[in-house]
Amino acid sequence: MSLTTSAKVKAVLGIPAGVTFHDAAISAAISYANDAVLRAIGQPGGLVATTRTDYPDVYSGNQQDIYLDRTPVISIIAVTNSEAVVETADYRLDPYTGMLRMTRGNIGSRRLLASWSDVPDDVVVSYLYGYTSATVPAKLVRAATLIAVHSVEQSRHLGKGRVRNSSYGFDVDAFAIPPAAAHILSEFEDVHHP
């Protein structure tokens, strides 16, 4: 599924829907915009739910919060801590930040506050993440539309730094992604890992 459409791009550019002269350029710009947005949100394969297994970083033996690498988290498949299965009732998930908080655990027959193991690769989380065509935020659709429009406008003035005629002039910016779209995408950046 495409994040934006030819109709949306034409509407922003002020091109009537029936005018097809620019369709090839608009189609190429839409492909570029979709790719740019999907890569920025960590879903280069498209708007599909993806299964992933993480080995989250645990820095101390009493750490109760870990962060998954990808968001939004649709569902948790399995969680193990020191090779023991962690039950759903023993953790809380924030699907938008990817934070998994250990709330309690079993020690013998007692249930106590628990923490994640700080042994490397001792915590394993398998989960389903990503935006689908039904859950993609309108902001991401807007970013794709802005990038496509920007791409079409740049291609019309390729190689020029300034466009002028007798009544007006404007500078052609050299950004690959327009600042408004970059601002939107910054809200969806992975802040947990480089």
Query: What is the tens place of the pLDDT at every residue in 101-149?
Result: 988 755 554 445 578 988 999 999 999 999 999 999 999 999 999 999 9
Q: How confident is the model at residue 78 (pLDDT cuts 50, 70, 90)?
A: very high
Task: Report how far apart, in Å, the C-alpha atoms of 25 and of each of 6, 127, 143 are.
Answer: 10, 39, 18
What CA–CA distance (Å, rounded) separates 151 from 33?
Answer: 8
Task: Report how far apart, in Å, the C-alpha atoms of 91 and of each of 43, 79, 119, 133, 177 are.
Answer: 26, 9, 19, 29, 39
Strands 105-107 and 123-129, sheet pairing? unpaired
DSSP conformation class of 159: T
Chain segment 159-176, per-residue pLDDT in tens = 555 656 666 655 556 667
Lowest-pLDDT range, 82-86, 89-93, 121-125, 171-175? 171-175
Beta strands in the chain, from DSSP E residues, in sequence order: 50-54, 65-67, 73-81, 84-85, 91-94, 99-102, 105-107, 110-112, 123-129, 162-164, 169-171
Q: State if pTM tops 0.85.
A: no
What CA–CA distance (Å, rounded) separates 1 from 132?
Answer: 9
Q: Measuring CA to CA, which residue among 150, 140, 132, 148 is closest to residue 183?
A: 140
Mapped onto helix, strand or coil, the DSSP state of residue 154 is: helix
